[in-house]
Amino acid sequence: MVDVPALSDLLDRLHVVTLPMRVRFRGITSRELALIEGPAGWGEFGAFVEYRPPEAAHWLASAVEASYGQPPPARRDQVPINATVPAVSAAEVPNVLARFPGIATAKVKVAEPGQSLADDIDRVNAVRDLVPIVRVDANGGWTVPQAARAAAALTADGPLEYLEQPCPTVPELAELRHLVDVPIAADESIRKADDPLAVVRAGAADIAVLKVAPLGGISVMLSIAAQIDIPIVVSSALDSAVGIGYGLTAAAALPELHHACGLGTGRLFVDDVVEVADPVEGCLPAGPVTPDPARLRTLAAPAERRQWWIDRVRACYPLLVPSVE
C-alpha cells in the first residue's frame, strides 16, 4: 500500500480534462476526469460524476497508488485487448470496429434502455461478420428470465465467449448460470460489492471482470486475483490513456491471462491526453503513460469544473485518511 500524501500536495498536482467522445457511451458524449502528476508517475481519478464519495474514494486511492507508488513486476510486455462496441445500430458497427485494427475479440453492449432484444441480435451478428470472438455486456440490465431468453437468442447464429453481468445481483447470476450454457462474467457484482469475493463463493460466475480504479488500485486487484480460482479479464472504466496504461500494467502483472482485456476504450474518444497507438496483432504494450502537455492544455476543463473536481477530492480524501479532521 502507498502512504497517502497531504491533501494540498494532491491538489497542487491536479489536472482536469474533458475528452470528447465519438459516440454516446454509458449515456455521455464527453468524459471528464482528473489526472494527478505524482512523483512516481501519473494517476487517474475518473469516478463517474454521479458516484458519491464512499464509492469515488476507491478511484482516488487508485490514482494515488499510481502517482505515488511503484508498479508491480510485469510478467508480460504485451496485453491482448478487445474492441468495445457501444449500443449503436448494426449499420454503424463496421465504422466502430475499423478503429480496432487486428482485434480478434469484441465486447458488445446490449440491454440498452430504449432498445430491444432484436436490436441486440442485429448488432451482435454485425460484429460476428467482422470479428471471430464475441462477448456481450448487459450491465445488469436483465432479469433472470430475460437473460435466459437473450442468451438463447444471441447464440442462435453463433457462440458467445461470455455474458458479462447479465443480471444485477449475485443470486440472480448464480440462478442464471444453471439455466444457460453460456459462461457468466461478473463485473458490477465484484467492483460495487462490499465483499468482492462473494460472487465467487456463491458459484455465480465463470469469469471475473476486474477494473483497477473502482477496486482501489492494482494492489487490491492483485489481492482479489490471488483469492479466486476463475479466469480474470482486466477492464477499463472509460479511462483516459493514463488509466488505460495503469490497467495494462495491472494485466501485465497477473500470473495468468487467458482472455483479451477490455482496455481498448480509448478508441471511443475523439482526442486523448496522448496520441493513442493502434494495437499490434490485437495487443497493446504494457507500461505507464505520460500525458502530452499541449494536449493537457487543449483538453483542460473549464475553471468551474476544475473547482468541482477539487471539491470532490476534498470530499473523498477523509475516506483515505480517516484521522483527517
From the annotation, which residues make up the binding site for Mg(2+)?
Answer: 137, 164, 187
211 is catalytic: yes
Single out the residue of 224, 268, 279, 216 nearest to residue 246, CA to CA: 216
- Residue type, position 99, single letter: R
Cell of 145: 428470465
Residues 6+ apart with CB under 8 A from 304: none
Q: State how beta strands 78-80 and 41-45 pair.
A: unpaired
Cell of 104: 480478434
Residue 301 and residue 133: Cα distance in Å, rounded?
38
- Residue type, position 309, single letter: W
Compute the Cα dihedral for 247, 248, 252, 257 and give only its sign.
positive
Residue 35 and residue 16: Cα distance in Å, rounded?
6
Select which of 211, 259, 267, 312 is catalytic. 211
Select which of 15, 31, 107, 109 is catalytic. 109
* Separation of CA 199 from chain center: 18
Binding positions: 137, 164, 187
107 is catalytic: no
Residue 100 and residue 87: Cα distance in Å, rounded?
17
CA–CA distance from 276 to each of 9, 139, 266 (Å)? 29, 27, 7
Cell of 82: 478487445
Single out the residue of 237, 232, 312, 247 nearest to residue 284, CA to CA: 247
Torsion of CA 169, 49, 66, 10, to 10 degrees: -140
For 177, left (φ over 0), alpha (ψ -120 to 50), or beta? alpha
Active site residues: 109, 211
